[in-house]
Amino acid sequence: MNKQFEKDLRSENGFCSKEVWCDEKALFTDDSLIIAGHHVMDKWQSNYMRCLAKISSKYGGRILEVGYGMGIAAEFVEMNKNVEQHVIIECHPDVVKKCRSIYRKKIEEAKVVIYEDFWENVTSNFPEGYFDGILFDTYPLSQKEIRKNHFFFFVEAYRLLRKGGVLTYYSDETENFSEIHMAKLREAGFESIDKKMVKVDPPESCAYWESNSILAPIVKK
């Protein structure tokens, strides 16, 4: 995680409650999604999001995507003809509205299902082994959520995946898993933990990422 980004999140204006976050307007530009002054997603991440989408939808079937953002990953998931149902959890109403407008027909056919809420309020409704693949990419609303949210979700992801299913997530690591990430994945029950290093090209003005690579986790149940 970029040090300037962590500093911003620790600042007085960096913290944001869930209620305030959802009340803030989402600004979509050609290159970015900005909420409450934070760059939630930028177009330079496209190559990385494509990789995460391919990992999560590798086996087709039913895919869970937590966090829609600009819809970059969702678009690549939908390109996989073996995906039978694409379940999306997104908390921000403006982002949900955009998602619904894009996938209106598929929503009517129940091929895309959208839940407007935080994942903590939704995933317990799904039975064990319900998904073939999961992509987790939520934006941290406080400094403590930068990794904690991932670690909480690892346990739930293990429950939600079928045997042989795959989890991937937006990582804050450049090339290798940190000891804490490996420990938390194993604590959740995962034993098959692999990775792919993805080349990216963030602009010099980017305040939250400086490296030219991001690790793409490939975590199988």
CATH number at residue 166: 3.40.50.150
pLDDT in tens, 53-87: 999 999 999 999 999 999 999 999 999 999 999 99
How many domains are contained in the chain?
Answer: 1
pLDDT in tens, 100-126: 999 999 999 999 999 999 999 999 999
CB 33 within 8 A of CB 190: no
- What average pLDDT is seen over the chain? 90
Q: How confident is the model at residue 144 (pLDDT cuts 50, 70, 90)?
A: low
Residue 2 predicted with pLDDT over 50: no
pLDDT at residue 146, rounded to an integer: 58
pTM of the entire predicted model: 0.90
pLDDT at residue 17, rounded to an integer: 76
Distance separating alpha carbons of residues 107 and 100, to the nearest angstrom: 7
Residue 9 predicted with pLDDT over 70: no
Q: Which domain holds residue 168?
A: 3-220
